[in-house]
């Protein structure tokens, strides 16, 4: 199948630049071989790759050799199912080693891995299937009710597998019956390896493609210039490996850098403390709400946290930074990245002030420009940089970039003259350090998830009591932002606490539960701008008065 038809025109694709030799890889490059297989060739197969902390309290230690062999087994199974280079494999499993094996096995044989959250509902799964036209779909048994609601004709050409195995479906565990030796696909560094979905302002998630070369370049830059792993290091990150953030921290960076990584079946504050204490975690890469919840709100005593050398999370509150410094003796680092760019493009630990984003990561270049996308470049395509202290948006380029799957119109907005145009409001101080202020669009960042207001609005409007609605994010110390809905009810419908709960439950049933509005205000006044459109800016101001 011709992959090009799913990609934007060349003029709306990023210019990938390789200013550092470590980011350049040969034309024929396979990401998994370069990242994982070389450790086996170097005789390091006995090193621990993963500490899998199970819900019953036991721990399974998984070596690099086991990851290598099981990824090969999965690759062989996919090939036996007819999966070929460029075919898409949709994967939605809970955290654990089998998720890692599934993703790496698909990529190693040249397929395109498309991971997504097991919390997704039928509507979202259907969208992913229609958008990617997969050859294989692998899901967790808890998603079986969602599968039953999907039209069988949509799945007629899709091999559906379930793990752990359940009666009535092919079991993914059959991969273990395959041989542990595999001839990898001869892939090119510019071949797509993975598609990460992220929320967009249109409501439908955007598929963000990344190639074998991009994943490796991001991995090399992170491990060399930021994480700086040495043998025996262990990383812990609560981000789900089905998302770009968690994938980098749990797959690319530790495996490329030869480090260990903690996986867990059940995420609780106590389990995090136990993991740090028992496995001597050296790197904790979290999101701000989780750090706050675990180490400030639910601080536990009696655990040795002295092994931690690096603490990081996108933290906008100087108060939270100071409180975490009291716990760990050092300020948390604060680099920024995004799924469309594969991962971070700034680097910290370079003497930046608290809560700063640091500076551009080596290998990347970036400028603060106008928030008006039509004012970023002059007529010749040259960047019009803002003065220090002025708030604008970032344009960046490097060895990774924004290439959307099946979203050419969005690509025309986000990639111009080869530069990636980002949606965070940023300023640069007179010493060159970057500072984050807000999102330039209306995406809500809540508890480590990006939520598109229009997606929640589109769900609420399906309820028979709702005439019109608007969804915003309001500041929240625990979650970063809290989802709030302003709802105008239909004539004859009376507001009540019972209706609030009904609307919340309705949303949870239709889309991923973390997207439901935790606060609902019934109102006849949905603030409007001069064009008669809902003014999210006015609603946010009203909600925070």
Q: How confident is the prediction along the chain (545 residues), in pLDDT tens digits per residue?
A: 589 999 999 999 999 999 999 999 999 999 999 999 999 999 999 999 999 999 888 999 999 999 999 999 999 999 999 999 999 999 999 999 999 999 999 999 999 999 999 999 999 999 999 999 999 999 999 999 999 999 989 999 999 999 999 888 999 999 999 999 999 999 999 999 999 998 655 568 999 999 999 999 999 999 999 999 999 999 999 889 999 999 999 999 999 999 999 999 988 889 999 999 999 999 999 877 678 778 887 888 999 999 999 999 877 667 778 888 888 888 888 899 999 999 999 998 878 888 889 999 999 999 999 988 889 999 888 999 999 988 889 999 999 999 999 999 989 999 999 999 998 888 999 999 998 876 676 778 888 787 878 789 889 999 999 999 999 999 888 888 999 999 999 999 999 999 999 999 999 999 999 999 999 999 999 887 544 567 888 898 899 87
- pLDDT for 537 equals 81
Peptide bond just before 457 cis, omega within 30 deg: no
Query: Residues, the chain, total?
Result: 545
Handedness of CA 467, 471, 474, 478 (dihedral sign): positive
Mapped onto helix, strand or coil, the DSSP state of residue 91 is strand
Task: Give the pairing type, strands 59-63 and 48-53.
Answer: antiparallel
List the beta strands (DSSP E) in 166-212: 170-171, 192-198, 206-211
Mapped onto helix, strand or coil, the DSSP state of residue 393 is strand
The contacts of residue 451 (CB under 8 Å, 6+ apart) are 199, 443, 444, 445, 473, 483, 514, 515
Distance CA 443, CA 441 (A): 6
Residues of the chain with CATH 3.30.300.30: 446-543
Classified by CATH at the fold level, domain 31-213 comes out as Rossmann fold (3.40.50)
- pLDDT for 401 equals 98
Best CATH choice for the domain 355-439 from the list 2.30.38.10, 2.60.40.10, 3.40.50.720, 3.40.50.10280: 2.30.38.10
H/E/C letters for each residue in 11-27? HHCCCCCCCCHHHCCCC
Residues of the chain with CATH 2.30.38.10: 355-439
Instruction: Transcribe 61-89 into DSSP letters.
Output: EEEHHHHHHHHHHHHHHHHHTT--TT-EE
Structure pTM? 0.85
Residues of the chain with CATH 3.40.50.12780: 31-213
Q: At what angle do helices 497-510 and 453-460 cross, to 10 degrees?
A: 110
- pLDDT for 438 equals 64
Report DSSP state, residue 307: T
Identify the helix (H) or strand (E) that includes residue 415: strand 415-416
Best CATH choice for the domain 446-543 from the list 3.30.470.20, 3.40.50.620, 3.30.300.30, 3.30.56.10: 3.30.300.30
The contacts of residue 482 (CB under 8 Å, 6+ apart) are 446, 473, 474, 475, 476, 518, 519
């Amino acid at each position: 199948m011709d992959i090009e038809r799913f990609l934007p025109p060349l003029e709306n694709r990023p210019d990938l630049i390789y200013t550092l030799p470590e980011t350049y890889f040969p034309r024929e490059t396979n990401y998994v071989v370069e990242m994982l297989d070389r450790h086996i060739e170097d005789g390091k197969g006995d090193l621990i790759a993963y500490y899998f902390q199970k819900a019953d309290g036991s721990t399974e230690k998984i070596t690099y050799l086991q990851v290598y062999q099981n990824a090969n087994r999965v690759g062989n199974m996919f090939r036996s199912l007819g999966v070929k280079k460029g075919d898409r494999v949709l994967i939605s499993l809970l955290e654990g080693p089998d998720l890692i094996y599934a993703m790496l096995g698909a990529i190693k044989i040249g397929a395109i891995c498309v991971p997504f959250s097991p919390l997704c509902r039928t509507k979202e799964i259907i969208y992913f299937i229609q958008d990617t036209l997969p050859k294989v779909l692998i899901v967790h048994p808890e998603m079986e009710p969602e599968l039953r609601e999907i039209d069988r004709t949509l799945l007629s050409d899709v091999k559906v597998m379930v793990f752990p195995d359940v009666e009535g479906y092919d079991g993914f565990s059959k991969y273990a019956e395959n041989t542990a030796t595999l001839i990898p696909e001869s892939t090119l560094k510019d071949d797509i390896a993975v598609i990460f979905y992220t929320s967009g302002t249109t409501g439908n998630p955007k598929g963000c493609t990344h190639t074998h070369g991009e994943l490796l370049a991001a991995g090399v830059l992170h491990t060399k210039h930021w994480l700086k792993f040495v043998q025996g290091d262990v990383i812990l990150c609560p981000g789900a490996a089905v998302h770009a953030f968690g994938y980098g921290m749990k797959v690319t960076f530790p495996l490329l850098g030869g480090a260990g990584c903690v996986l867990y079946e059940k995420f609780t504050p106590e389990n995090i403390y136990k993991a740090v204490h028992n496995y001597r975690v050296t790197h904790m890469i979290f999101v701000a709400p989780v750090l706050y919840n675990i180490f400030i709100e639910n601080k536990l005593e009696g655990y040795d946290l002295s092994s931690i050398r690096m603490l990081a999370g996108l933290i906008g509150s100087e108060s939270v930074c100071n409180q975490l410094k009291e716990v760990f003796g050092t300020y948390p680092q604060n680099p920024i990245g995004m799924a469309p760019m594969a991962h971070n493009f700034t680097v910290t630990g370079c003497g930046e002030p608290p809560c700063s984003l640091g500076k551009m990561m080596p290998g990347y270049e970036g400028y603060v420009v106008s928030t008006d996308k039509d004012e970023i470049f002059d007529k010749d395509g040259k960047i019009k940089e803002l003065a220090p202290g002025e708030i604008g948006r970032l344009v960046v380029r490097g060895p990774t970039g924004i290439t959307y799957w099946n979203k050419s119109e969005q690509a025309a907005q986000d990639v111009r003259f080869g530069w990636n145009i980002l949606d965070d409001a940023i300023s640069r101080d007179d010493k060159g350090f970057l500072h984050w202020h807000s999102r330039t669009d209306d995406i809500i960042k809540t508890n480590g998830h990006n939520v598109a207001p229009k997606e929640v609005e589109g769900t609420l409007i399906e309820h028979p009591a709702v005439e019109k609605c608007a969804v915003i994010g309001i500041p929240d110390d625990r979650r970063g932002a809290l989802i709030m809905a302003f709802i105008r009810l239909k004539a004859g419908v009376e507001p009540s606490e019972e209706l609030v709960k009904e609307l919340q439950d309705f949303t949870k049933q239709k889309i991923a539960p973390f997207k439901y509005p935790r606060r609902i205000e019934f109102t006849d006044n949905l603030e409007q701008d001069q064009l008669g459109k809902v003014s999210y800016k006015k609603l946010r101001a009203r909600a925070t008065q």
